[in-house]
Structure 1
Amino acid sequence: MQSVLSLPFGLGYTIDITQTLTALAAAGMPARVEAFDRLQFDDGRTAFLATPDPTTTVIDGDAAGGRSDDVILLPGGSEGGVLSLVRRYPDLVVVNGKRGRVWADGRQVHGTSMQREATSGWRTVFAIARSIVMHGGGTHAIADRTGIPFDDVRAAMPALGSHVFHTPIGWEATDRPALVDWALAAYPGYGGVRTCWRRDATIDVQADQLISLGAVMSDRWAAQQSGVFVPPDRLTAFFAEHPDVQALGYEPASADHATVKVVIPQDATTLTSAEGCSTDDFITAHVIYEDSWVTANTDAVNGLRQLLHFRSDLAHDLRWHPNKGSGEGRGGLMLQLLSLTLAYDDTRFFGSVMFTEPDHPDDPPPTILIDHADEPPWFRLTNVDATEQDPSVPAMVEADRIMRFLLRYTPERIGRTPADFPQP
């Protein structure tokens, strides 16, 4: 048998309504305290006080039977459901004293709106910023890369202001590192809806299956695909339409126990600007960062940030200093970077770089093998084409320039310093 009173937490809690009275007065509805649970307005009306916070109360439960609450006090900054409440019950007066907002007669009558107007087309602005800082290019090229209509790209460009400028070869970022960081830090999120699922299969098997259904992959799995050292133990799959994952053997799960999260994003550029089967590294970093601040996630985001800085600088260098030589029998020759692969340990590295020739797309891509060297320039290049080993061959020249740029950017990866790679 219970021998002591059972009292709910918060019973007898004293609520400070100073800010409530101030907000009401500012809204032209001055009131004074009539009793511990009610106010009286200057026009003679009496209003009973209530709070939506279940841990606090200004009324006695036994005395409140059959009584309508006339003033709702919002604790702190909580305003969830306010618009629906005041529209449904226009006789209520709802007050957020902390923020000086008052609702009455079914509408907000005082204070700044809690629904701020976002910059028109903000998703477009972020997608354009990501495209410019990583690829440059003209307005048509940006539209093609992001999937945003040309007119929308042109209309959104003024929002970036002085952070971008136009050049003879297209748009460029005024300060590339700063624009990369802004696009990472300021992006509010892709929105939409998410569902969580679990299946007893490896992450790679699940990723391959979802990709075959048209998914764009993100999260730690995508980060590792980009070369960031992070356990590839989480998947977030973006779809334009939600697939029937239960038919594939998935079961609903909590966010903590899910093996994959399926997202239908509000920001459609998440899908249209994807890089292959993965979201671009900006979106991948956002997905990881918003999950939690555990060390593995922080390290992954920092790794993606460093990678974005490097790729932005490298792409800018290749745009403004393209290799133009005199290919034998071809007149002018321009190469475009097709792929760059490097594997490191503490002091050594090896890899390859491949190019494509836009004027000869059906030819085998020039490929240069890269190996470590113990003396300047600290790397050795070998052309896969045994007849093209001369250092003046365009592919060899371009590979040499890329390697000097790369190693100057991160010399500590092979135990060197920037002084070992002087600026040409």
Structure 2
Amino acid sequence: MRLYTNPEKSQWSEIVARPVMDAQKLEKTVRKILEKVSDKGDKAVKKFTKELDGISLKRLLVTEKEWKQGIASLDPALKAAMDQAAANIRKFHEAQQSEVQVIETMPGIQCWRKSIAIEKVGLYIPGGTAPLFSTILMLGIPAQIAGCKEIVLCSPPNKEGGLHPAILYAAKLVGVTVLAKCGGAQAIGAMAYGTDSIPAVYKIFGPGNQYVTCAKQLVQQSGTAIDMPAGPSEVAVFAEATANVDFVAADLLSQAEHGIDSQVICVTTDASLPEKLKEAVAQQLSQLPRKHLADQALENSKIVVVKDRETALQLLNAYAAEHLILNCEDPQALIPSIVNAGSVFLGAYTPESVGDYASGTNHTLPTNGYAKAYSGVSLDSFVKKVTFQQLSKEGLQAIGTTVTTMAEAEGLLAHANAVTVRLKTL
């Protein structure tokens, strides 16, 4: 991890930069995959699955038999844990539902807004280095609550050509209607364009590596909506002198183990913390089965020493982390100063892991600085907000002159006439 001590603001752009691939080369590769999938459908998806994942598949969809056998083999303790997590996630997201409110803006003019489920949604679940079945709960449960009619799920197959039993169980738990064994850009293309096996959807959700993120951004250009640009995972930790260094190290490594393109940052007001933190990270890293991934991610990561809380918060807002942990005294006092973050974890006993799995909040969050403008996934992500209005004769008479005056001033006389022709009948 690179150390910065009281850096000048001119260095901040370097500190907040994320590791990226050559954008032009990446887009060229992904575009080629998408074009093949659009043209050849299942045949192209199977071809790329063999080339990129090393798996030859006769069929892309999980059969009912595979589903049943996989679920039956799942450890009961893991089932119970997933059930508990699902209950918490469901409770948090059900509370986001709201009643329709009819607003009378003027006598005789009623306006309201209604949430209508997106009919067909696609969920992308990473599984290359770890089967992220928790993401199915995070995406599938709000889709289910919203009332989405078709929930298509794509996840890369394991070495045996199947899906992890926990993925199968989670998919059943949230009402997935189509479950496909494919990953990467080819899966995004399949859900965007549709194939013989995988139906096209209206909106695609889910995190992934830079290939997946690039694919989502490209299919968006051709009309398929996406949740957000959610790329490699990241965490920023604000740690003061009171912070337990082992907690901080554990939090950094919990994100670093996602993959080599993940990034972690620690911002501290304690000049003695960096050396202690490096020792704690090294000790914990040596015990991790995914240390080869975490170690490479740490090469992209940073420790920044600043003079005070105000500077720390300015830097953290500039970074706009996917996950932000405030490991300090009275973290709630800092809430008014946090304006850019995907999800915030307050205090020493709130590890980011609880949000990733089971507290109830959603873990599909904006990365790469997009937290400056994007929200994480919520119930609202799976619905459209459609507005309605109805005017009585009296309502139209009351507002008619206002509309015609404005329309005529813009030179849109047909707009004005749509009101005038009605007023003449009253």
Q: Same fold (TM over 0.5)?
A: no
**Greater percentage in strand:** 1
The TM-score, its normalising length taken from structure 1, stands at 0.26
Query: Larger relative CO (CA 8 A, sep 6+): 1 or 2?
Result: 2
Between structure 1 and structure 2, the one with the greater Rg is 1
The TM-score, its normalising length taken from structure 2, stands at 0.26
